[in-house]
Copies of this chain bind each other. A is one copy, B any other.
Amino acid sequence: MGKTRSAPTLNDVAKAAGVSTATVSRCLNSPERVVESTRKRVMQAVESLGYTPNFAARVMAANRSFTIGAIIPTMDNAIFARGLQEFQDQLRESGYTLLVSSSAYDPEVEREQIRTLVARGADGLLLIGYARDAEIYNYLEQHQIPSLVAWSYDPRVQRPSVGFSNTAAMGELARKVILTGHRQIAMISGKTKGNDRAQSRVEGVRLAMTENSLDPDTLTLIETTYEIEKGAEALRKLMNLSPRPTVVICGNDVLAAGALREARNLGIQVPEQLSITGFDDIELAEIVSPSLTTVHVPHREMGRKAAQELVEMVEGRSEGRSVCIDTRMVVRHSLAGPPDLP
């Protein structure tokens, strides 16, 4: 167990290069402010010592952490993974590191994680959806932490966001469903409480019904957590109803996949006897059989744009703009006309 030298510091580099720590620091942070000759010498020392700046010290001195925090509802399925991956890659390019937490859709947990992230000096925060206590937003404002909402976009809300209109997107799908001839409509939604995406998607369906002279109150709605099992469970319940729905609109692809699986187990032909639709267009949607008619959300684009905007905000170049991402319906095989269209 020999004595191990610990990480070299600015001081070590300075000594090795025969300059002051200030100069070394400058070489690293604003190289143009130091002459070629000394810079070269310094960089060589940095290289040969394998120097890496101490992050905590840097944060303390500069009062910036080059860290962006993100709190997502779950890491458990692909829905957020893809967008976040792109978000992270884009951040990295701008010199930031991403710190992710997942809240398990629990507002209390989210609150705590936001505090942790702020305590860790996050320069900015990415939040999913608008819906959360005003207290949290106040807290962020007090601490001067720029925050950006993603996955939702609503022009009525005065808060920077990079997302899409869940209402409009689901509305388009529902209109298509109705146009296809369905009248007995059921929906398996995620829990709407504290989840504006889920709420808006339900609203989208209701709006489409109203527009087409269907009573939105006749929508059979089941709320559940976003798990495959739950989607299956919900479908089972729906199939015991009479009259049976001819179409089940699901709040996302995961629920739809569960519903699809259960339909198969029950010996119900999709789409001949029952239509099922999803939302998100994760890879799953194309793999299940029959493939899912769903709404495509450009997650990567959203992640990239969110990163760009948040960095602008953090660096004081933007007060917080909002970006609306376009979604589009993807028609595949799980949607067809109702079984006994006269």
* Residue A20, interface by CB 8 Å: no
Can you list, as one digit per residue, whether each of A94-136 has a CB less than 8 Å from chain B (1) or not (0)?
0001011110000000000001101111000000000000000
* A55 contacts across to B, CB distance below 8 A: 56, 59, 119-121
Name the B residues within 8 Å of A260 (CB-CB): 287
Chain A interface (Cβ within 8 Å of chain B)? 4-7, 52-57, 59-60, 65, 74-78, 81-82, 84-85, 88, 97, 99-102, 115-116, 118-121, 141-144, 228, 257-258, 260-261, 264, 283-284, 286-289
CA distance A7 to B288 in the complex (A): 51
9 CB contacts below 8 A, A to B, read A6-B144, A54-B60, A75-B88, A76-B81, A76-B85, A97-B116, A100-B100, A284-B284, A288-B289
Q: What residues of B have a CB within 8 angstroms of the CB of A141 in the complex?
A: 4
Complex: A4 Cα to B5 Cα, angstroms: 43
CA distance A147 to B144 in the complex (A): 36
Q: Which of A7, A55, A119 has the most CB of B within 10 A?
A: A55
A261 lies within 8 A of B284 (CB): no
- Within the complex, the shortest CB–CB distance from A294 to chain B, in Å, comes to 15
A75 touches B85 (CB 8 A): yes
Contacts A56-B60, A258-B287 aside, 6 further interface pairs with beta carbons under 8 A come to: A60-B60, A76-B81, A77-B78, A81-B81, A85-B102, A257-B287
Report the minimal beta-carbon distance from A49 to chain B, rounded to whole angstroms: 12
- Say whether B289 contacts A52, CB under 8 Å: no
